[in-house]
Structure formats: C-alpha cells, structure tokens
Structure 1
Amino acid sequence: MERTTTIDDSTTSQILSTNVERQKNTISTECKICGSPARYSYYGVIVCHSCKMFFKRNAENRQAILKCYYDNQCNITMDNRHACTSCRLEKCFKMGMRIEMIRSSTFRKNQKRRKIKFIIDSNQSPSTMSMTVNKKHKPEYIPTLSLLESDQSPLNINQWNLLSNLVHCFDQHSGYAFVEHFLEEQNRLPIKLRYKYPSVCNFFTSVKSNIQLVFEKNRDFLSLSRHDRTTLLRTTVEYTTSIGGMFTLRQYKLFDYPPFYESTEMIFKPSGTKFARRVIDQLDPDNTFIKLILSILSFSTTNYTVYKKNMPINLTNIKGILSIQDMYTDLTWRYLLYKYGHHEAVIRFSNLLRCLFVIIWAIVEAHESQKFIEMIDSVIEQTKQTLCL
C-alpha cells in the first residue's frame, strides 16, 4: 500500500515565502570588506569574488612587509580597494576571514590536480597530453601559472602605497566636509537667499585654500627646501586650485543650481565661467586619475599662461623636482594601464591634453576678474605664512 503525504495550501505558502525571503536576503548582501554586492561566504565571511581572490593570494604572506603611510586607517571601498594592500588585508582578518579555510577548501582540488598531472606526465607524450586534457579533464584540470603571472600588475607595492597616499591626502585635506557644510547651510535658507554673491565668493576662496593645503601636506613637497616650496607655489597655484575647484564643482554638481551659476558669472565674468563649464564637462570621469594629474601639476616648473614680471624660477633642487615629476607621471601611466589597458590609457591621456588647453583658456579669462587675482594672492599669502611657521 502506497503512503502519500499531503501539504495544505498554508504550509506551501509558508515555504514559498520563506524561500523568497532567503533569496531577497542573499541578493541584498554586501561584501564585508569593500561594500560591493556579494552573495556567498568565502573563508568565513560574506565577501565579493574580488576580495575572496585578494585574500587567497595574500593571506599566506601576512608577515610580509606591507606598509601604509596613514597608520593603517585607510577606508576600504569598492572604488579604492586596490590602492592599499596593507589596510585591505588587515580588514579581511579583522572581519574574520581565516587562512586555515583556504587550505581546507583547496586541499581536495590540489590533490585531484596532482593526481591528474602525475597520470599525464607518466603515461602520455606532450602531443597527446593536450588532447586528453582538453577532452577529458578540462572541467577538472586547468594548467595554472604562478599567482604573479595570473595577476600581473604594472604597479609594484611601493607604487600602490604611493597611489594610496596621494589619493588619501587629497580626500583628507581638499575640503569635502566644508563643501557639504556649505550646501547644508544654503539649503536651510529661503530659496531667494541661496547662493548669493558674498557666500559664493567666500566659498571659492575657501575651496582654493583647501586644495592648496593638499599639496602642502604632500610628503615629497615637504622634502623640498622652503625656497623651492615657495617658488613652486607661485608657479602652480593657479593650475592646482583652479582645476581642483572645478573638480569639486563637478563632484557636487554645483553648476546645476542657476543661482550659484549666476553668482559665479559675477565673480569670474561670463566668459571665464563658460570656459570653467567646458572644463567640467571634459574632465575625465576617473576621480583617481584627476587627483594624480593634480599631483603632477603641483610640481610643474614652468608657467607661461599669463606673463608676470619678476617671476621667480631659480629653483635650488631642480633635479629633485624633475625626478618627482617623472615618478608621478610614471605612476599615473601605470595606473591607467592597470585599470583600462593600453588603448584606453592612450585615449584618456589624449583627452587630458585637450582638456588642459581649455583649462589654460579658462585661467586666462579668469585673469580678467580682479576677484580671481585676489583669491590667488590670498592663497599664496596664506601658504607663505604656513611655510614660515
């Protein structure tokens, strides 16, 4: 006699709802390391595939010399997780990822690979070996290269650390908190009183000062003599603060507010504001790339945009400054190669050159505004006082 089991509608509904709820929970999970979407647990923690592979490659080398120049306090996100190996690995261990789970999960696979490899090497010639591997063992056995060969990066560990330091320095000192406070302050005002000329003028002055502070905190800048730092300040401040300011405008989409744009036209003249908008539209969408370009420009040794009398160019350590330029340029190129490949890297550098020509025109037009000159002089004077201290 056959035994049958019946399930009523309420039980079925409960099971289905439970399965749906589980699926929802699985889909909405985030990686505990970088915050990107994740669905499965690897080595004891729910992480994305990228962080899983990163931990698998680096966990055994935990005792290796991995250095972070910011006291291991880098905030690891999906956008910058490749920048600081030390902080990323430390976070993996802190979240609970375990080395022993790597060994246990790969033990059977390694045994199987060694067995297949032994059989192939013992019984077959090289010509028949490839045929057998492709036909019979492809799902199980894939000849592997070394980890370094499978994850070739044009940047070494020192360059990754330098990249992390430059990005972290910009994010820490460029005034993001100030901009957010400014926006909150303006949004609390009645609509007719928002983004008026005095507040927008003070905003630009503060933004330029914050951008300049980024390069004052740069460790390579601090390694130079006070004379060379002052000289570089005078030759680069217009570029760095102008591009950095336009980068900030793009980040917060401030030109989308008509009152803000109108006040900007009053400060920098309509022609200067027009060129600034063109620069914002042409800036590369990769924020890290822009920060690296600003770092290069902060060590520029020439300034022919606007003629000035008695422009100091007598740098005492020109070779040291040029070596910093070369180091930053090489880092930028390697970063583009790593992220985009050769073809896309060339395109982005070409687009950057076109954008720099527009930036030059924007600075020339801005010199028609006395307020712009006063802002630059204010930043120079403020920085000189800091250097003296």
Structure 2
Amino acid sequence: MNSSTNLKQRRVMLITTDEKIIEQICTSNNLSSSSKTVILESEENNNDLSDSSDDMESMNQEGTSTTKLLVCVICGSSALGRNFGVISCESCKLFFRRNALKNPATLSCRYKNTCTVTLETRRRCSACRLNKCLKYGMKRERLIKAEKKSIERRQCREERTNISPINEQNSQLQLLASPDSYLPQTSSRIQRAVLNSDDLQRIEMVQTAFEKRIELARDNLLWNPTVHSTNLLEFLNSRSVPAMRLVAFFKQIREFTELSSEDKFILTKYNLMPLIVPSFALSFKKDTKQVIETNTDVPWDESAFQQAIGTNYLLQIKPIFAPLVEIVQYDQKIMQLFLIVLFLSKGLSTGEDTTEPILRDYMAVYRAHNFYTELLWNYMEVTHGIKVAYRIFSKLIFQYLRWLNLRRTIALDVQQSLPRTEQSNIFPVMQSLFHI
C-alpha cells in the first residue's frame, strides 16, 4: 500500500497464462497513465512445477511484502502462491481438490453457466467456479499426480508398519522372545486382507513349482535317492538330493530368478540347508511315519535319523517337526509359501561362526521377501480367518527358530565327529552349503 495526502493507491499484481486476458490488458484504453503492465514470457516446459508448497517457498524468500501482491485469479481474494499451476487462494485450492475429479454431470448451474465468481459469490455455484478454475489454467493432471503420490506414501507407511525389515543381528533373539513380534500388524490396517486373481494365480504357481521340483532336479542329482546311506559321510552326501530339489523349486520363483547371480548364490549358500527339515514336513507320511519325497526314494524314518545324528538330537527334533507337520496337514500351501519367505530372508539363518556377504541389491531381495510375506499372510487370513492366521504364523516362526538353533549345534557336532580326511569326500556343493 502506498499513501498520499488525500488519495490512496492500491497496487495489484495479476499473474495469468490466459492469452486472451493478456491481450485485453495490452489493448485496453481504460488503463490510467500511472498504471504499468509487465508481461513475462514463461518457458514452454513447465512440467516440473510442483504444487503450492514449492511455489510458496520460493515466493516467501522474497519477503512478506511480495505475498501481499498476489491475487487469486479465480475469486479475487488474496493468495499466497500457485496451486495446480495457477495463483489461487487456499479456498479455491481446496475447492479444486475436492471437485476437479468429480463427474461433470454432478455439477450443474441454474443460470446456464453465466455466474460471476468473486470472493462474495464463490460458494453459490460450484459448476461455474470449477469451470473458471479450469479456464484459468488449473490442471487436473497435477491433482492426479498429487493424489497418486499421497496414496504411495500412505502405502509405504502401511508397509513399514505391517512388515518391518528384519534386523540381521538381533532379529532372531527378538523373535524367540516374542514370536508375535514378526506378525503383520493387521490391527492398524484400514481394510481386511484380500486376494485378487493375480494373488490366487501366484499361489497356484507356487504349488505347481513345488510339485515339479522332483522332475526338474532329476538330471542334476549327485546322489542316487534309491540308495541307503550307511554312515555319516554318506548321510551328508545324500542330503544333496532334497537340497537340489529345493533349488529347482526356487528357480521357478520369478522374483528369485530376477536377482543377480551373486545374490542368488548368497541366498542359496546361507539359507538353503536350514530349509530341508521344514520342507520334509511336506513329504511326511503320517500313516507310515516316514519322509519320502517321491515313491522311488529310499524313505527316511526315525531310525535313519537316529543312526546319523543320534538319539539325543532326534528327541529334540521331534517336538519341532511335529507342529510343522500339523500345519502341512491343515494346509500345505502355507508351508510352500513359508519356504519362499524364509529363503528370501537375508541374515535370518546366518550362523554365529560365519560372516554372510552383503547383497548386491538388498532392496530387490527385501521387496521380494515382503511380497511373499504379505501374500502368505493374506492367504492365511482370507482362507482361515485372522485368529487362525496369527496362531499359524506364530507357530511357524517360533518352531523354525527353534530348529535353527538346534541345527547349529548339530552341524558343529557333526563336523567335529567327521574326520578331516573324510571331509574332503563330501560333495563340493555340499561343502559349500555346510560351510566346510
């Protein structure tokens, strides 16, 4: 505001991209001699302009006096910055956000779209106000982009709340202390779990991949599965059969095949062997009390395990293995998905005496792990209900970690029991998997 003795003048800045208005200003004969018109040509490529927050920040850097000169081109009230591409007030910004994406048929004018939109009349006719917003340059595309970003941020927050990444050093102790801590926090979800057609197709694909693992691994077996093992060395080498079959299973999982060769090697080397016993739950025959993956295999029963690892360890394995068998008998798809979740869990199965290398693309593994964790959870919740899902998920995590700790003890004892002269006779691939 500039003041004089008897006359006050008001300086108004009008910013517009409408060429008709600019032409009217330039050709108008009603402008006083003291008025000054300045036309600034803008660059053609203004797609990088953001919403009001960025524009307000740049304008506020010039001082508070600058913001007083801004006028909303929609209603004429004072404005603080650009919203959706146009200098506008907060009221018109919120109005455009609420109405720009609505069906035009829901907004109609009783006066055939002839209403004048001002500060006093802007609330009387939504149709004319929206038409003026669009006419003066407000862009629906920016609103759609802003809404999309808002949805993505909300989804990211929900993912961080529901499925948090596992701390590689402390996760196992935390899960053993409270297995429920690993469960997705569904109480914070806005909507219940759902399974779309792609999810159902993926679950069926996983089931088919697990069934095909026997056939796909047939030509890569190092040990004849029809031959009994008679000593500890042969027992260790015979474990290459279920190991190679699990590899054939995971090679059919798209997210795993898309990883780099280095990351696939790390996950296989450090996560594969602990999965053999949980996978045996899928091949356990309850009537004969035997583990047999295919009819031509030599079955594994309690006597075979007892001969290989001893009675003491067998008695410790049984209470861990039994709950896993119960889950498989209830729904085998749960265990098949759970194997993928475990296989993609970076650092979960690292032994205290080993140093697991850093993944080349940790986020790719993390995203794949999250995808199958959520797929498993949604499947259990939709199929069996949230209470049953919690109990199953908790039991899976708890029993697996019990087995993980026991397996380390068994592995250390086996290595000490096996003479070093015989360790060189272990299959090279098994030496790598056993960390020998």
Query: What is the TM-score normalised by the length of structure 1?
Result: 0.48
Kindly name which structure, 1 or 2, has the bigger radius of gyration based on alpha carbons: 2
Query: What is the TM-score normalised by the length of structure 2?
Result: 0.44
Which structure is higher in helix share? 1
